[in-house]
Amino acid sequence: MQLNHAQRELTVKIVYYGPGLSGKTTNLQMVHQRTSPEVRGRLLTVETHDDRTLFFDLLPVFFSTANGFKVKVKLFTVPGQVIHNATRRIVLQGADAVAFIADSRRAAAAENNAYWKNLVENMKENNLDPAQVPVVIQYNKRDLPDTKTDAEIEETRKKGKEPVVGAIAIRGIGVLETLYAVLQSAFRSLEARAGLTKNIGLGEREFLTQVFANIDVTGTELERILPPRTPGARP
């Protein structure tokens, strides 16, 4: 988090982490598609010719609070290929929360575990305390054969404290739910550390409502959680 009182500006950094080809870039593309252009920048992607992330993807989303505080949420993805570990570590610097995009196929478990350990190591290298930086796990590609069943996912969920979201990112399913969960975790952790409500008058509800005010949540679980919106209108 970067909090600049002089410029009345708060920057929150979210990093999409996970093995190669698990769907990190796809997640960001879906968020980009669903967000109206006035509140986001262009989706910056740097890919190789075969669509593998080379350095990172970046999607900035911004809004102003009722108090006139500028809030920028920067969504990053890391490159998943093994050789890009140094880049992964650099992109992870200063992350406020992590969305761990796992491939939910049974055969991918070993790969997921390896990247989970890699995440912990790189957090430590960056002086981030793995116990302090919240992580949300997305089980992506649930449309594919060999995907873990709900019961199996429930079983692995119990191994840790991280919230778990099922997804088919390629169809936009679970993408916004993951974003919501990771932003909520990030906010709670920042609130505990920096007292955002007290210091800049920004509460969890306003934060989440404002971010999603210009994101089309039609057909997602979030329709039930967020206040109904008038299309195109600012809150």
Binding site for ligand GTP (CB under 6 A): 20-26, 51-53, 77, 79-81, 140-141, 143-144, 168-170
- Least separation in angstroms between residue 51's CB and Mg ion is 8
CB of 235 to Mg ion, least distance (A): 32
Contact string (CB under 8 A) for other proteins, positions 86-125, x = contact: xx-xxx-xx-------x-----xx--xx--xx--x----x
Is 26 an interacting residue with respect to Mg ion (CB under 5 A)?
Answer: no
| Interface pick for other proteins out of 33, 36, 44, 150 (rule CB under 8 A) | 44
Asked whether the beta carbons of 111 and 140 are under 8 A apart, the reply is no
Question: Nearest distance from residue 17's CB to Mg ion, in Å?
Answer: 11
- Residue 182 CB, nearest approach to Mg ion (Å): 17
Give yes or no for a contact between 186 and 178, defined as CB atoms under 8 angstroms apart. no
Query: Which residue do the tokens 């809150």 mark?
Result: 235
Smaller CB separation from ligand GTP, 44 or 144: 144
User: How far apart are the C-alpha atoms of 220 and 207, rounded to whole Å?
Assistant: 19
Task: Please give the residues from 53 up to 112 whose contact with Mg ion meets the rule CB under 5 A.
Answer: 53
Record the tokens describing residue 97, joined without a space. 């929360």
Around 109, how many Cα atoms within 13 Å sit in the side-chain half-sphere? 8
Position among 8, 52, 60, 204 found at the interface with other proteins (CB under 8 A): 60
Q: Is 118 in the site for Mg ion (CB under 5 A)?
A: no
Q: Does 35 bind other proteins (CB under 8 A)?
A: no
Between 53 and 214, CB nearer to ligand GTP: 53
Does 66 engage in binding with other proteins (CB under 8 A)?
A: no
In this structure, are residues 17 and 119 in contact, taking their beta carbons and an 8 Å threshold? yes
Alpha-carbon span 122 to 15, nearest angstrom: 12
Give the residue with the Cβ less far from Mg ion, 48 or 218.
Answer: 48
Residue 73: φ, ψ to 5°: -110, 120
Strand locations in the chain, DSSP E? 2-4, 9-17, 44-47, 53-64, 70-77, 97-103, 135-140, 164-166
At 30, phi and psi to the nearest 5? -70, -40
Q: Using CA atoms, how far apart are residues 145 and 40, in angstroms rounded to an integer?
A: 35
Indicate the residue whose CB is closest to ligand GTP: 80
Query: Among Mg ion, ligand GTP, other proteins, none, what binds residue 174 when CB lies within 5 to 8 Å by partner kind?
Result: none
Q: Which does 84 bind (CB under 5 to 8 A by kind): other proteins, ligand GTP, Mg ion, none?
A: other proteins
Structure tokens belonging to residue 22? 């698990």
- Residue ranges that bind Mg ion, judged by CB under 5 A: 24-25, 53
